Amino acid sequence: MDAAALRGPLAAALASLKERDRDVLLLVAWGQLGYEEMAAVLDIPVGTVRSRLNRARRLTRAALGSLEETR
**The domain that contains 35 carries what CATH number?**
1.10.10.10
Tell me the C-alpha distance between 57 and 21, whole Å: 9
DSSP string for residues in 11-67:
HHHHHHS-HHHHHHHHHHHTS---HHHHHHHHTS-HHHHHHHHHHHHHHHHHHHHHH
pLDDT computed for residue 2 by the predictor = 65
Domain span including residue 54: 3-70
Q: In total, how many domains does the chain have?
A: 1
User: pLDDT digit of tens for each residue in the chain (71 aa)?
Assistant: 566 777 889 999 999 999 999 999 999 999 999 999 999 999 999 999 999 999 999 999 999 886 655 55
Tell me the C-alpha distance between 66 and 71, whole Å: 9
